[in-house]
Amino acid sequence: MKSAALFFLATVLLLGGCSPAQTVQSAGSESSAYIQNKGSDTMVNLALLWAEAYQKNQPDVRISVTGGGSGTGLTALMTDTVDLANASRAIKSEEIKEAQSLGFEPMEIVVARDAIGVIVHPSNPVNQLTLKQISDIYKGTITNWSEVGGEDRPIVRLSRESNSGTHVYFLETVIRLGKDSTDLFSEKTLLLPSSEGIIAEVHDNPNAIGYDGLGYITSDVKLLAIAKDENLDYILPSVETVNNNSYPISRDLYMYTRGKPDGAVKTYIDWILDTEAQQIVVVSGFVPIKIAGTSSDG
């Protein structure tokens, strides 16, 4: 979907009040619901498409969708200013404790799956990397493409900003290799505010390396095959390789609510987990949970 169309759609969907789960009564009609949905930038385009499709069939429901990052969405959930928080990472233990201190249990719903693709400029001769090589690149241990089979060029590292769930997931799964570690992104890593920004910068910079959700990756960049280690197969991300767990950088995508959802919010979530909405997941380039075999109970 073109960015201009998404901007128009976001503008339409943002019309309405500011409080979560408002009930609006209009003259001569039944009351209507207003649902606030905020969080993951990885999920924002998918969430916009869901909201547009749902409102066509349920004109009495208005849905506001905004991004800002997974952390932003979960913070809004804590302050009770949204009904649904989108997150491309699982909620942290300290966030659960904060929610409990505020008097509620966060409810986790898996709504789709995703792969994180590692991308380079199309002219880059490197076609594959191990997780360890990617970790060393982003930690600053490897600084030149010649060290991983490429040309004698400096590596320019690109990342999402720290409030992004994709940033957190990449840090924990790739840079720290899933271990209890304090490793961090190199200080020379350039932080960009959007998934589209990562794609654009990699396309424009022959020395760049970046990462993005599968639904955002275009033919303007080159997708690398990834191996857990040098003795295993190098795998490209796809619906199939996420489903069979052979691609090593895949994850669930979540929605969180303040306790067990009810009313219009529950009805909307039930629709998201059903066939029509999961077809939209496929169109958006993500992996539907019913095909992936992930429990829709979250």
pLDDT digits (tens, 9 = 90+) for 130-178: 999 999 999 999 999 999 999 999 999 999 999 999 999 999 999 999 9
Look at residue 15 and tell me whether its pLDDT is greater than 50: no
Of 30-44, 82-96, 172-186, minimum mean pLDDT range:
30-44
Top pLDDT among 69 and 4 is at 69
Look at residue 278 and tell me whether its pLDDT is greater than 80: yes
Nearby residues of 159 by Cβ (< 8 Å), 6 or more positions away: 138, 167, 170, 185, 189, 190, 191, 192, 210, 211
CA atoms within 13 A on the CB side of 165: 33
Strands 156-160 and 128-130, by their bridges, are: unpaired
Domains in the chain, start-ordered, CATH in brackets? Answer: 3-113+252-292 (3.40.190.10), 115-243 (3.40.190.10)
- Contact predicate 289/111, CB 8 Å: yes
Predicted confidence at residue 44, as pLDDT, reads 95
Mean pLDDT taken over the chain: 89
Amino acid of residue 6: L
pTM above 0.85, yes or no: no
Average pLDDT on 191-212 reads 97
Average pLDDT on 26-38 reads 69
Predicted confidence at residue 292, as pLDDT, reads 43
Look at residue 247 and tell me whether its pLDDT is greater than 70: yes
**Tens-place pLDDT, residues 66-98:** 999 999 999 999 999 999 999 999 999 999 999
Predicted confidence at residue 10, as pLDDT, reads 44
pLDDT band at 20 (very low <50, low <70, confident <90, very high): low
Predicted confidence at residue 116, as pLDDT, reads 97
How many distinct helices (H) and strands (E) make up the chain?
A: 11, 12
Average pLDDT on 271-282 reads 96
Predicted confidence at residue 22, as pLDDT, reads 52
Residue by residue, DSSP assigns 234-250 as: -B---HHHHHTT-SSSE
Predicted confidence at residue 24, as pLDDT, reads 39
Predicted confidence at residue 243, as pLDDT, reads 87
Q: How far is CA 195 from CA 146, 192, 211, in A?
A: 27, 8, 9
